[in-house]
Amino acid sequence: MADAATRMPPQFELRFLMTQGAFTVAADLEIAARAIALFGPSGSGKTTILEVIAGLRSPKHGRITVCGRILCDTDTHTNVPVRDRHVGYVPQDVLLFPHLDVRRNVTYAQPRRRHIDMPDLDQLLGLTTLMDRKVSGLSGGERQRVALARALYSGPDVLLLDEPLAAVDLARRRLILDTLVAIRDELRVPLVYVTHSPEEARAIADYAIVLDEGNVIAAGVPDDVLP
């Protein structure tokens, strides 16, 4: 196994313009990183970028590439359907399926060739005791773990995380952050991480994009661009 640090970091391309009513989000970036932090105040367009990558929103024009794979290119009329984008998306409100138990939530996706084994997931996220529980009885931290497991189960090309620590109490944040680092380094799933905390961004990302009102105002090494 090659050491994580010596491997070529995954390639991303985010060049697009997306408008929604009066709100516009634009980016023009080529990135090589294992974890990208999207940083900025509320309403700056962080979540919109995640949704554009996931395919839940379509840019007016532009090109999105994840790990070298083109997901969207308006010039060639390429638009990979959401279901074939192989992204693991954990929205801020996690959105576990309320009518399914934990096990069925986690195993909802069909495992791909390059999937992640259940024992590995279990070891990483501590799911064993949760598996047969109902979703409605879970705590904030438990929900977050289940949502991560669900997003990872099929072995996605990238994990899109929208403020994953927002609903987790302070004591548990460290634990989840460590887990995310493990996902990044051991499972080798690149992350795109939305946050408004510079500390979190520094702890997890090797590349940061600072957004304000839909515009990229700075991008680069976290220590250089974050406040």
Pick between residue 150 and residue 173 the one whose CB is nearest to other proteins.
Answer: 150
- Phi and psi at residue 208, to the nearest 5°: -130, 140
Minimum distance of other proteins from residue 71's CB (angstroms): 12
Pick between residue 67 and residue 177 the one whose CB is nearest to other proteins.
Answer: 67
Residues 6+ apart with CB under 8 A from 40: 46, 196, 210, 211, 212
Question: How many of the other CB atoms lie within 10 Å of CB of 60?
Answer: 12
Tokens of 174: 């460290």
Residues 7, 36: Cα–Cα separation, whole Å? 17
Pick between residue 190 and residue 222 the one whose CB is nearest to other proteins.
Answer: 190
DSSP 105: H
Pick between residue 81 and residue 119 the one whose CB is nearest to other proteins.
Answer: 81
Residues 152, 106: Cα–Cα separation, whole Å? 9
The angle at the Cα of 26, spanning 23 to 28, to the nearest 5 degrees, equals 180
The residues binding other proteins (CB under 8 A) are: 54-56, 81-89, 91, 95, 97-99, 108-110, 112, 150-151, 154
Minimum distance of other proteins from residue 50's CB (angstroms): 10
Minimum distance of other proteins from residue 109's CB (angstroms): 4
Minimum distance of other proteins from residue 111's CB (angstroms): 10
Pick between residue 13 and residue 162 the one whose CB is nearest to other proteins.
Answer: 162
Tokens of 82: 């959401």
Minimum distance of other proteins from residue 222's CB (angstroms): 27
